[in-house]
Amino acid sequence: MADKIYIFDTTLRDGEQSPGAALSILEKLEIARQLEKLNVDIIEAGFPVSSPAQFEAVKRIAGEINVVIAALARAKEIDIKAAWDSICNAEKPRIHTFSSTSDYHIMGKFGSDQYGRSIQEKRETVLKMSHDSVAYAKSFCDDVEFSAEDAGRTDIGYLADIIETAIDAGATTVNIPDTTGYTMPFEYAAKIAELRKRVKNIDKAIISVHCHNDLGLAVANSLAALDSGARQVECTINGIGERAGNASLEEIVMALKVRKDLFDYFTDINAKDIYNTSRMVSGFTGMIVQPNKAIVGANAFAHESGIHQDGMLKNRETYEIMIPEEVGVVKTTMVLGRHSGRHGLKARLEELGYTLDNKELDRIYDLFTKLSDKKKEVFDDDLRTLMGDQVFKEDNYYILEDMQVHLGTNAIPTAAIKLKIGDEVIQESATGDGPVSAVFNAFERILNMEFMIENYQVRSVTSGREALGEALLRIKADGQSYNGRGVSTDVVEASAKAFLVALNQMKKPQAVLV
């Protein structure tokens, strides 16, 4: 009989660690609802000890979503307690604790003598910490996952000892992460096979894999590990994650499905929900899916050359190994416009995977009517982008009351900004090399601060003259970076909104690890 592969989605934890992908609590909740529809087995909802916002997001997801909810914790009591407090109301809670196990990580994180003088002594300390953290987590929760961070570069003998110890202490899932995306598929598969031989109690836990994509091998490594006996795979939507990202959920699921002749495994994923989930994550994180991305990229099912088109018309299978509808890519002819009412908007958003209460619907309807005044036809991607706009940005400290920009071929670009800060409204104007820099300069004047623009990109979301423009921005002040994203049919306004979102990030409690 075919074996089930458990899909552990870490979009909201490792995925959110992607540079620039900060999500609000409501956005996380909305993504978690969509992941539940997609039918993932485990959602890693966050790293609760790292900030009050992380804690709150995990707690709200745990209170509402009925799949296993995992919370991440370092091998420290304070982390494990925070993780438990955030998920204790979940139907199916899991504490996920981890220790660094490669010599690189041990020397980097436990270099001081307090953890032992030699590497051998330090390894002993980490072994004990791993045991104690799993045992402590187990005192709260039956379902405990242990990860050996940087297992990909960890000595196999020591890794086997650590894993055996974690299982002895009560771990029910043991994760072997290729944290740095260093291993080759055959090497990683051999490591899993070797652990199955060496670890005496391995049959008491599920082996999990968690691969990063630094060499572009995260999916290949994950599949190779499944073939060696791993039965849980950790992945993210669109493959987002630290640095080059994590293994992509949609690629793993579809590889197992399309090549079931080779893999005698199955997942419980509702593949038809893949596309909507991908678009929702992209919309909320502002992380654009590259057009040639497998499964969910805009070109994944596009056939350009005449020979390919001809072949496709005669027989689809000539060039297609899966049909777009299987992953929820449907050619929609439905467009909304000025005359579409609230009901039509709500129905379309629900079809795209969003659940809105009346208050949220009021806000998005307001944005939608403003957009449809400027733009005759509103497409699905416009709606997704609106959903990723300020709809879900709650508790803003800075509010843009008004903005005026003046430019001309022979005039110096000038911007005037009226900003509400608490109860006060401050107005300033400034000039710049162009309208966008004039706007940014006006913000700086109001706040009497200087920001470094670390990253600034503008793109159009849909095609056509009145396309929505999206601005992505990263600013830096006092050594800390903040991300913002704004959309509008006017790119200067989109840029101002992005600046404002970044400013509001600055006012939110930042992640502080103790």
Q: How far is the CB of 150 from ligand KIV (least distance, A)?
A: 6
Q: How far is the CB of 3 from Zn ion (least distance, A)?
A: 24
Q: How far is the CB of 128 from Zn ion (least distance, A)?
A: 24
Angle at 59 between CA 58 and CA 64, to 5 degrees: 100
**Rounded Cα gap, residues 463 and 451, in angstroms:** 32
Binder of residue 164, out of ligand KIV, Zn ion, none (CB less than 5 to 8 A by kind): none
Site string for ligand KIV, 59-98 (x = CB under 6 A): ---------------------------------------x
* Shortest distance, position 234 Cβ to Zn ion, whole Å: 7
Is the Cβ of residue 16 or residue 27 nearer to ligand KIV in the bound state? 16
Minimal CA–CA distance to 105: which of 33, 162, 66, 32? 162
- And the tokens for 131? 């045991």
Question: Which residue number, 177 or 388, has a Cβ lying nearer to Zn ion?
Answer: 177
Total residues contacting Zn ion by CB under 5 A comes to: 1
Nearer Cβ to ligand KIV, position 28 or 105?
105
Measured from the CB atom, the residue of 176 and 361 that comes closer to ligand KIV is: 176
| Under rule CB under 5 A, residue 14 binds Zn ion | yes
**Residue (14 or 380) nearer to Zn ion, CB:** 14
CA distances to 199, 277, 459 from 155, in Å? 14, 38, 46
The contact pattern for ligand KIV, residues 153-192, with x = CB under 6 A and - = no contact, is ----------------------x-x-x-------------
Report the alpha-carbon distance of residue 375 to residue 423 in Å, rounded: 34
Residue closer to Zn ion, measured from CB, 79 or 389 = 79
- Going 228 to 7 to 77 to 106, the CA torsion angle's sign is positive
Report DSSP letters for 156-185, one per residue.
Answer: HHHHHHHHHHHHHHT-SEEEEEETTS---H
- CA distance linking residue 93 with residue 325, whole number of Å: 34
Contacts of 369 (CB under 8 A, 6+ apart): 338
Taking the complex as a whole, how short is the minimal distance between the CB of residue 282 and ligand KIV, in angstroms? 21
Q: From the list 11, 34, 97, 147, which residue makes contact with ligand KIV (rule: CB under 6 A)?
A: 147
Would you state the structure tokens that stand for residue 453, as one six-digit string?
């623009």
The enclosing H or E element of 364 equals helix 358-374
In the list ligand KIV, Zn ion, none, the entry touching 149 (Cβ below 5 to 8 angstroms by class) is: ligand KIV
Asked whether 416 and 428 are in contact (CB, 8 A), the reply is yes
Q: What is the DSSP letter of 347?
A: H
Instruction: Please report how close the Cβ of residue 208 comes to ligand KIV at its closest, in angstroms.
Output: 9
Question: Which of 421, 461, 453, 462 lies closest to 434 in space, CA to CA?
Answer: 453
Q: Which residues pair with 93 in a beta bridge?
A: 69
Which one, 64 or 214, has the nearer CB to ligand KIV?
214
Tell me: does residue 210 bind ligand KIV (CB under 6 A).
yes
**Residue 98 interacting entry, from ligand KIV, Zn ion, none, C-beta within 5 to 8 Å by type:** ligand KIV
Minimum separation from the CB atom of position 241 to Zn ion (A): 6
Helices (H), 352-472: 358-374, 380-387, 435-447
Q: How far is the CB of 147 from ligand KIV (least distance, A)?
A: 4
Stretch that binds Zn ion, among 9-17, 194-202, 338-346, 369-377 (CB under 5 A): 9-17
Please, what is the minimum distance in Å from the beta carbon of residue 212 to ligand KIV?
6
Q: Which helix (H) or strand (E) covers residue 4, if one does?
A: strand 3-4
Site for ligand KIV contains 48 (CB under 6 A):
no
Residue 324, Cα to own-chain centre: how many angstroms?
A: 23
Q: 210 vs 279, which CB is nearer to ligand KIV?
A: 210
8-state DSSP, 296: T
Nearest residue to 29 via CA among 8, 7, 60: 60
Structure tokens of 202? Answer: 């391995």
Nearest residue (CB) to ligand KIV, 60 versus 212: 212
Binding site for ligand KIV (CB under 6 A): 14, 98, 147, 149, 175, 177, 179, 210, 212
Binding site for Zn ion (CB under 5 A): 14
